[in-house]
Amino acid sequence: MSQHSYNGYGMIGAIAAHTDGAWRPSPGSIYPALAALQSEGLIESTGDGKRTEFVLTEAGKSYVAENAAEMAQVWADVNEEAGAGTDLRLGLSKLVGAVEQISMAGNEEQVKAATEALDTARRAIYTLLAD
């Protein structure tokens, strides 16, 4: 947030992107947090309604600068807690990209083979849960 302005939903997306999907806060947690930061004078809002965006105040910029190590540790902790789940989500994202490509550019035979491969992968993943 230190370099950009975001609305609440933009902030949710930025956090999800920054954590590779490991943390996607809900609007019910983001908006009260933004209100608290605003009441502390660390952020201010610009715009109205759906166009409301939040930016750091000078006090907020100072806080970020003075607590950079602590804030970096928060992100590191989130990524550590996500552990292998981050790699799993990245692998799934790559798989979805490949499936989208074959669904758009593949011939009928390739699409059928990809469908069989997905079914095989699904069964293998469920087998892992049985262990």
With a cut of 80, say whether residue 14 has pLDDT above it: yes
Q: Please state whether 49 falls in left (phi above 0), alpha (psi between -120 and 50) or beta.
A: left
User: Which residues pair with residue 45 across a beta bridge?
Assistant: 54
Which range, 12-21, 37-46, 72-81, has the best average confidence (pLDDT)?
A: 37-46
Region 26-46: mean pLDDT is: 92
